[in-house]
Structure 1
Amino acid sequence: MALTCTDIPKFICAVLLPPIGVFLEKGCTYHLAICILLTILGYIPGIIYACYIILAY
């Protein structure tokens, strides 16, 4: 998908606190639960997953 201007704040949130970026993109779905779990297990996997979700949708 194309990168838009609304994705920039989502990426900033994804780097600071990954679940917030996923929440802004997808809402309260299973993607948010996966991102929270990955962020608890390791901060970097949470960031990678959040960026993937923002770019994929």
Structure 2
Amino acid sequence: MAFTGSDILKIILAIFVPPLGVFIERGCNADFFINILLTILGYIPGIIHALYIILKY
């Protein structure tokens, strides 16, 4: 799997601001709102979900 420059930027954003990384990857849809909820409930689940979304798509 080769990462582009934008993928690396999205991964960095996902670590510091998980919903922003998901928003850039998928837009304003259910994944974005799920990630906001997970980030509010616990920062680590938000990061894991954001990385999953970025690496999946």
TM-score by length of 2: 0.93
List 4+ stretches of structure 1 deviating above 4 A. Answer: none
Aligned pairs, number = 57
Q: Structure 1: which 5+ runs fail to align?
A: none
- The sequence identity of aligned pairs, in percent, is 63
Q: What is the CA–CA distance in structure 1 between the aligned matches of 2:55 and 2:5, rounded to whole Å?
A: 12
1:52 has 2:52 as partner: yes
Q: Which residue of 1 aligns with 2:34?
A: 34
- 1:4 deviation in Å? 2.1
Measured on the aligned residues, the alpha-carbon RMSD in Å equals 1.1
TM-score by length of 1: 0.93
